[in-house]
Amino acid sequence: MKGQQVVKCPHCRGNKVKSSGTASKRLFWLGVISCITLIGIPAGLILILTYLLMKRSKLRLNFICQKCKRAFKVNEDVYQRYVKSIS
């Protein structure tokens, strides 16, 4: 993980944080891959749907610190800057 400086853990000031929103992107690709294998289509669609729901829900503003394992929230603005900084 790159050392982003946008979101820092409020508990230990660490910058190794993980967002539920960016983690859900993996669900999307997993869904796409499942859809390629014909049998996987139902599961794939569920994964893609979950991703879309996550993308719209406030859940994506939840972060987990990798260092102290505590969860915290950021606001929309900070989240957008975070996404830009890691992409």
Q: What are the backbone angles phi and psi of residue 84, rounded to the nearest 5°? A: -65, -40
Number of residues this chain uses to bind Zn ion (CB under 5 A): 7
DSSP label of 44: H
Rank residues 51 and 63 by Cβ distance to Zn ion and give the closer one: 63
Nearer to Zn ion, 17 or 54 (CB): 17
Q: Does 14 bind Zn ion (CB under 5 A)?
A: yes
- Of positions 68, 71, 80, 84, contacts Zn ion by CB under 5 A: 68
Q: Does 55 bind Zn ion (CB under 5 A)?
A: no
Gap between the Cα atoms of 16 and 28, Å rounded? 23
**Is residue 11 close enough to count as binding Zn ion by CB under 5 A?**
yes
Among 5, 12, 57, 80, binds Zn ion (CB under 5 A): 12
Amino acid letter, 40: G
